[in-house]
Amino acid sequence: MESIMESVYYTAAQLAARGSGDIPKELNSSTHLIYSSPATLAFNSPGAEGYGVKRAGLAVPGSVMLIVSPGCCGRNTSAISRMPGYEDRFFYLTMDETDLVTGRHLKKIPDAVSGLCRGLEEKGKRPRVVMICITCVDALLGTDMERVCRRAQDKVPGVRVRPCYMYALTREGRKPPMVHVRQSIYELLEPRKKRPSAVNLLGFFAPLSEGSELPAVLSQAGVRTVRQIGACRDYDSFQEMAEANFNLVLNPEARPAAYDLQKRLGIPFIELARFYQIDRIGAQYAALGQVLQTAFDDQKWKNEAESAVASFRDAFPDAVFSVGEGMNGNPFELACALVREGFAVREIFGTVNADSFVWIRVLAALSPQTRIYSNLHPAMLHYREHYAASLNDPEGDDGKKDYGKKAPLKKDSGKEDPGKRETGKKDPAVTITIGRDAGWYHPELPNVQWISDVQPFGYGAVTALFNALGEAMRTGSRGGFSPEITLGEKDGVSRTVQEDRAAPGTEEKAEKTERAERPERVEKPERAEKPERAERPEMGERTEKRIRGFRRFTTPFAPDQSGAVSVLYDMGGISVVCDAGGCTGNICGFDEPRWFKERSAVFSAGLRDMDAILGRDDRLVEKLAEAAQQTPARFAAVIGTPVPAVIGTDYRALCRMAEKKTGLPVLGINTDGMEYYDRGIEKTYLALLKKFCRRKDGANGLVRAESGFVRQQSVPSRIIGVWGFTPLDFAGILTADELKSRLRDQGFDEILCCGAGTDIEALKDIRKAEKNLVVSPAGAAAAVWLEKEYGTPWEYGIPGGEALMEIIFKKLSDRSNGDNISDGMGKVLVVHQQVLADRIRRRLEEAGIYAVTAGFFMMNKDLLRGEDSVLREEADLYKLVLERGFDCVIADRALEPVLAGLRVKLIPLPHFAVSGDLS
């Protein structure tokens, strides 16, 4: 019988007994690999959800952002860019290996800032502020961004240029990224004369909800103007925040910014906390009133909150809660509020730190058996409600645990009723969840996500929350988990931004040797030629196009590390992305359509700044060994990112250490986040083949002949290998099931395809394959290796290509305004991965249409014709269409802005690696 892997929790009583100085390692993210759960995308991908670093940096009205980084770091911005209000606000300056070595990217920044400001000014959108967002790479390089920003500011008079640090390595340091970005924002405020009746609210980037009573309470103290950055209309109104008599800090991450304003502008501050415990809200207002020498009358709002709680309790007295951290509040404080109101809280998903123990001690007294999980621990991959086990209680629930079901507070006294605690109650099943993460773990239950941009606060937050809980219970809304990036039920369904967010190495030497044996490719030009100037008034001269790596219209494409994970996703191994967390979140949340439907052991190494600086490979090995004990796996892979590229990680040595410690085969995939996804796919294929599929004489249907190995005729089943098939190229076009069905229709019994259901044991049968089919250029090197190793023939092709072409040509016909496919089409440019683009081109030619292919990715000479083009910069596509006079472009919709102003129609063909969008 297969053993059941279990997630790990500690009870409130156990944690309280240990104290804040003895937090278990399972709840301390710095001591283990980090599971990049769909429930915690915001943690693992800064800027992915809500107001992360990138979106927060644009909280200032009239601001734009230039993201200077390897392409992988800007990938998740593709989702934010589609949100209303963020058009023409994100720009990119992507880095390559030469930039890492020479630092030449820093010299490009002033010109890039000048160019983007000029282009926006010609559209009537000249920015007031340019935020320069840099990442872990520049943190490790020690870049002085203040100096760089001053040089850039000198080139754009009247525009402020400020740094914005997206350093995931410092997440748990003295100044985490979200603390620093708040400081950068409020450093823009300039001295002004103070207004005694003006107050600022600091801490949130969106305004308080209209249901919050805080502005009305402050009015009782003579406050007439309450300003918050999320409500500022323009840059001038933002500057009016410098007039404040004092600041109210509503989020502790804004405390350093408040200190800066106090020192620089003489604006003192007072801190308030967000509570869901009604008596604490009242006590906080009373304390604030003492400071402001005002006795606040808050009884009206207090009564409304108490009424909302009572109504929910009367309707659902036996409600049992699961509380997550993916919501607007502190999960431990909210759990205390629920328990004190008489409800049972079975479990909490949260990040435990020293501050959490204020609430954990309360829970230990009132609800000692409430379970506390860390969303980030690798064992959460196996979370199942009925199988979760406590480390200190291996027998599981005894049926008599106290989850805090007790009498509610007496509202008149504000004290607990000690006489009505229920004990001996059977372990209750959760009936409702709060938070996006809790909704993920209990998809069948009613869920209130409670994670809107607009922030609840005070009594109004309590009232709104319990009203929402009551509505969720009454309507029975199930499957409450709704990621910010939503995927449909199958490939091909639109991937969009959630708008209504309030709704309930391969070895280096071997790699060099192998290169000469791969299919010959066209090398991309070292520098794109200066595009010919076009009559395009809204863009002007587009002088910024001359800057290598500058992107104005398109977000960076999927990087090599995403390609590596895509191949390994369902092969039965552990994939460890060697990063601080951000890269893993980008891979899983933005480049892997399967992530929200199929669980996979993809973990982040959880690197911190000192790990990178000191090269603590031994700590990574220890983390991997622990994860291997908790997750059944047949192999492991360490996947590179820009951080190990900067510090020069020795993957061969790292893999040897890991194999000795874990007893598993370990692959090292030397990706760096600066190449595209297809290179990562290619490297991963070769690493797998060399590790698991080396030739064995006389085995598996092969016999020795004078010319080498030849295939016996008695192989019992027909096997075909498929290379280059991943969702990054085929999502929304061809599913894995469709691929296999079409090959079975051709008489094949077994289809071996990494990343499409073939595990590592099945892959070993690749030596028996009758032939190998390469469906994208990323698979060609693997096919060549197998041909050399086993003599297996290979060819380019797409199974069932005719049926696929019919679908694509139906779209062409719909856009052609004619019965004949060739009517009105003119010259066609096909931009996609080369094998698919070539297949479309040949079908177009059969219909009498002139067609050419072009690509930003691998272009093998086997399929290349004289007029085909290799693209490096987005400007190359504009120049190609302009100079060659194409009438129609078949490409991903994300490329349409690049072609704006040209008389060309775009027929959308999704390429997930380009846009991360399947619409």
CATH number corresponding to 43-181: 3.40.50.1980
How sure is the predictor about 409, in pLDDT bands with cuts at 50, 70 and 90? very low
Q: What is the mean pLDDT of residues 97-124?
A: 91
Predicted pLDDT at 805? 78
How sure is the predictor about 763, in pLDDT bands with cuts at 50, 70 and 90? very high
Domain limits, CATH 3.40.50.1980, in the chain: 43-181, 198-297, 556-691, 702-796, 802-915
Alpha-carbon 289 to chain mean position: 42
Q: What is the mean pLDDT of residues 371-397?
A: 69
Helix axes 801-816, 834-846, angle to 10 degrees: 60
How sure is the predictor about 281, in pLDDT bands with cuts at 50, 70 and 90? very high
- Give the Cβ contact number of residue 192 at 10 Å: 14
Could you tell me where the DSSP H helices lie in 11-73? Answer: 12-18, 41-44, 53-57
Q: Is the pLDDT of residue 919 over 70?
A: no
CATH number corresponding to 702-796: 3.40.50.1980
Instruction: Give the dihedral sign, CA 863/866/871/875.
Output: negative
How sure is the predictor about 813, in pLDDT bands with cuts at 50, 70 and 90? low
In this structure, what token pair is assigned to residue 63? 């601001």
Q: In sequence order, which residues have a C-beta less than 8 Å from that of residue 516 and are 6 or more positions away?
A: none
* Alpha-carbon dihedral 681, 687, 693, 697, rounded to 10 degrees: 130
Q: What is the mean pLDDT of residues 384-391?
A: 52
Give the separation between CA 92 and CA 553, rounded to whole angstroms.
Answer: 9
Which string of b and e fits 804-836 if b means at least 16 CB within 10 Å? Answer: bbeebbeebeeebeeeebeeebebbbbbbbbbb
Q: What is the mean pLDDT of residues 722-745?
A: 93
Q: How far is the CA of 683 from the CAs of 309, 502, 788, 818, in angstroms?
A: 57, 42, 17, 45
Give the separation between CA 619 and CA 659, rounded to whole angstroms.
Answer: 14
In this structure, what token pair is assigned to residue 642? 């820009």
- Give the Cβ contact number of residue 533 at 10 Å: 12
- Asked: is 802-915 a CATH 3.40.1010.10 domain? The reply is no
Residue (of 29, 86, 17, 25) closest to 56 by Cα position: 86
Q: What is the mean pLDDT of residues 755-765?
A: 91
Predicted pLDDT at 683? 98
How sure is the predictor about 328, in pLDDT bands with cuts at 50, 70 and 90? very high
- Whether 824 and 905 have beta carbons less than 8 Å apart is answered as no
Predicted pLDDT at 148? 95
- Whether 827 and 883 have beta carbons less than 8 Å apart is answered as no
How sure is the predictor about 478, in pLDDT bands with cuts at 50, 70 and 90? low
How sure is the predictor about 519, in pLDDT bands with cuts at 50, 70 and 90? low
Q: What is the mean pLDDT of residues 190-206?
A: 96
Residue (of 778, 741, 736) closest to 753 by Cα position: 736
This prediction has a pTM of 0.86
Q: Is the pLDDT of residue 835 over 70?
A: yes
Give the separation between CA 297 and CA 301, rounded to whole angstroms.
Answer: 9
Strand pairing partners for 553?
A: none
Residue pLDDT, tens place only, 524-580: 434 333 333 333 333 334 444 478 899 999 999 999 999 999 999 999 999 999 988
Helix axes 105-122, 145-154, angle to 10 degrees: 40
- Whether 12 and 360 have beta carbons less than 8 Å apart is answered as yes
Could you tell me where the DSSP H helices lie in 824-864? Answer: 834-846
Predicted pLDDT at 748? 94
Residue (of 264, 552, 277, 539) closest to 408 by Cα position: 277
CATH of 556-691, one of 3.40.50.1980, 3.40.1010.20, 3.30.450.20, 3.30.360.10: 3.40.50.1980
Residue pLDDT, tens place only, 167-189: 776 666 667 888 999 999 999 99
Predicted pLDDT at 169? 66
Q: In sequence order, which residues have a C-beta less than 8 Å from that of residue 404 and are 6 or more positions away?
A: 338, 339, 343, 344, 345, 363, 366, 367, 370
Predicted pLDDT at 656? 95
- The more confidently predicted of residues 618 and 823 is 618
Q: Is the pLDDT of residue 392 over 70?
A: no
How buried is 339 (Cβ within 10 angstroms: 0-12 exposed, 13-18 middle, 19+ buried)? Answer: buried
Q: Is the pLDDT of residue 496 over 80?
A: no
Strand residue runs (E) in 592-653: 602-604, 636-639
Give the separation between CA 39 and CA 374, rounded to whole angstroms.
Answer: 11
Superfamily of structural domain 198-297 = Nitrogenase molybdenum iron protein domain (3.40.50.1980)
Instruction: Give the dihedral sign, CA 709/710/711/714.
Output: negative
Q: Is the pLDDT of residue 265 over 80?
A: yes
| Residue 897 φ/ψ, nearest 5 degrees | -60, -30
Residue pLDDT, tens place only, 593-632: 888 888 899 999 888 767 766 678 889 999 999 999 988 8
How sure is the predictor about 487, in pLDDT bands with cuts at 50, 70 and 90? very low
Give the separation between CA 578 and CA 568, rounded to whole angstroms.
Answer: 15
Q: What is the mean pLDDT of residues 120-138?
A: 92
Give the separation between CA 201 and CA 208, rounded to whole angstroms.
Answer: 9
Q: What is the mean pLDDT of residues 761-768?
A: 92
Strand pairing partners for 750?
A: 719
Q: How far is the CA of 825 from the CAs of 670, 850, 853, in angstroms?
A: 44, 9, 15
Strand pairing partners for 906?
A: 889
Q: How far is the CA of 371 from the CAs of 67, 389, 422, in angstroms?
A: 41, 10, 18
Residue (of 22, 28, 26, 16) closest to 370 by Cα position: 16
Q: Is the pLDDT of residue 399 over 60?
A: no
Predicted pLDDT at 73? 86
Q: What percent of the chain has pLDDT over 70?
A: 81
Q: Is the pLDDT of residue 633 over 50?
A: yes
Q: How far is the CA of 705 from the CAs of 692, 766, 772, 789, in angstroms?
A: 24, 20, 21, 14
Q: What is the chain's length?
A: 919
How buried is 791 (Cβ within 10 angstroms: 0-12 exposed, 13-18 middle, 19+ buried)? Answer: middle
In the β-sheet with 869-870, what is the strand arrangement from edge to edge?
A: 869-870, 851-855, 828-831, 888-891, 905-908
How sure is the predictor about 335, in pLDDT bands with cuts at 50, 70 and 90? very high
Q: What percent of the chain has pLDDT over 90?
A: 62
In this structure, what token pair is assigned to residue 344? 């049972």
